[in-house]
């Protein structure tokens, strides 16, 4: 069959999946929405390989979410992988950390979840490059039928309606009635969910801490809700913005990006970048793109983020230094932090460097490094010699 290119508003991914599945297509399917990119390799209508630039959709993150792997084990496996150049799944199986059957079922789960998540995209582009033969995959041999994924997607549309009627957003906090909880084993998913709820985390916070995809977590919360064990708390939702990394705005009403046009903001962003002020330049480029998305603004955002990522890597990813908390855990609880900030700060143990923490986190590298830069600026974290 011939290749295809289009946009998701015109042809949603779920319809494209039916088209390719019915034709037992072979080739490469790519979807993009903003900075998010996903790709699946197909052979005769079966997904045999998948990749994403979203950290929570990495294979290791799925293993952590499902309780098959710890962050420490993943960190060690990454080190072995860097030395051997062997796929992560094979490293974990060969070293006996994860049974092969578990690795296979989790990889199949990853293929499905990546695609089902994109079923809900209302914007973005897709490209399907047809091929006569699929490439040989050096990792574990897995096949997931496109039509099975589509059927699961139809089931989830109904499930999401029920879930959203109970949990309207990820910002809400929850409460637990332990008397109505089912029996749970120490270290189980339910045990971790209960503890995190009691710690005051929002649903988004739970997802970060558990490395969980949305449906995986919401489905379990809904099951606990049906038992009257979990409900939405009367406590105020978690604020969207962060008090830690948000830059204070001067009172001058002429702040760039407030009343300016998108073209003016874009020009200011370019000036900041040209002058070497990468942080402000990147922030303004994103602001301009949010105001009026264009190929020009998208290109500037990408260039600015590449520069900022390189700068933050040089500044923060020094292997001779490790982050150390400068405030007590009790004081941290009083701060108005976002879920990602609480997650990252909970991983600061005075032993691991920032690169190690970021590598196993479910956050994008640039996003995590921005948070760490904010922690250092606000005096919450200090980089100390090993």
Instruction: Give the pLDDT score at 239.
Output: 57
Cα–Cα distance, 186 to 212 (Å, whole number): 19
Most confident of 112-126, 174-188, 316-330: 112-126
Q: What is the pLDDT of residues 292-342, one digit of tens each?
A: 888 888 899 999 999 999 999 999 998 888 999 998 888 888 888 887 888
Q: What is the pLDDT of residues 39-50, one digit of tens each?
A: 999 999 999 999
**pTM of the complete model:** 0.71
Which distant-in-sequence residues (6+ apart) come within 8 Å of 243 by Cβ? 335, 336, 337
Cα–Cα distance, 154 to 16 (Å, whole number): 14
Q: Rg of the Cα trace of the chain?
A: 22
Cross-strand bridge partners of residue 128: 4, 29
Degrees to nearest 5, angle at CA 6 with 4 and 362? 100
Residue 27 pLDDT greater than 90, yes or no: yes
Q: What is the pLDDT of residues 135-146, one digit of tens each?
A: 777 667 889 999
């Amino acid at each position: 069959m011939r290749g295809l290119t289009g946009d998701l508003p015109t042809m949603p991914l779920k319809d494209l999946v039916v088209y390719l599945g019915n034709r037992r297509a072979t080739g490469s399917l790519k979807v993009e929405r903003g900075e998010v990119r996903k790709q699946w390799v197909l052979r005769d209508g079966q997904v045999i390989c998948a990749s994403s630039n979203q950290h929570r959709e990495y294979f290791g993150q799925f293993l952590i979410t499902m309780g098959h792997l710890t962050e420490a084990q993943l960190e060690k496996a990454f080190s072995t992988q860097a030395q051997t150049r062997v796929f992560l799944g094979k490293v974990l199986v060969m070293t006996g950390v994860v049974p092969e059957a578990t690795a296979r079922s989790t990889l199949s789960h990853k293929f499905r979840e990546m695609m089902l998540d994109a079923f809900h995209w209302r914007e973005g582009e897709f490209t399907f490059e047809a091929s006569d033969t699929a490439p040989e995959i050096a990792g574990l041999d897995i096949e997931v039928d496109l039509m099975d994924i589509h059927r699961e997607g139809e089931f989830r549309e109904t499930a999401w309606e029920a879930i959203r009627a109970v949990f309207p957003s990820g910002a809400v906090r929850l409460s637990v009635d332990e008397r109505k909880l089912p029996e749970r084993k120490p270290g189980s998913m339910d045990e971790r969910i209960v503890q995190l709820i009691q710690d005051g985390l929002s649903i988004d916070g739970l997802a970060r801490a558990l490395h969980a995809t949305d449906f995986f977590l919401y489905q379990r919360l809904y099951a606990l809700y049906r038992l009257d064990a979990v409900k939405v708390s009367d406590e105020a939702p978690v604020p969207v913005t962060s008090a830690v990394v948000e830059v204070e705005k001067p009172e001058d009403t002429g702040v760039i990006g407030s009343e300016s046009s998108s073209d003016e903001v874009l020009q200011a962003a370019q000036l900041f970048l040209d002058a070497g002020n990468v942080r402000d330049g990147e922030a303004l480029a994103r602001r301009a793109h949010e105001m009026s998305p264009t190929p020009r603004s998208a290109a500037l955002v990408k260039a600015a983020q590449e520069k900022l990522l390189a700068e933050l890597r040089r500044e923060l990813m020094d292997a001779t230094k490790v982050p150390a908390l400068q405030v007590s855990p009790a004081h941290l609880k009083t701060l108005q932090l976002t879920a990602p900030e609480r997650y990252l700060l909970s991983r600061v143990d005075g032993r691991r460097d920032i690169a190690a923490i970021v590598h196993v986190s479910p956050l994008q590298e640039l996003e995590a490094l921005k948070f760490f830069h904010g922690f250092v600026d606000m005096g919450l974290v200090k980089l100390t010699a090993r």
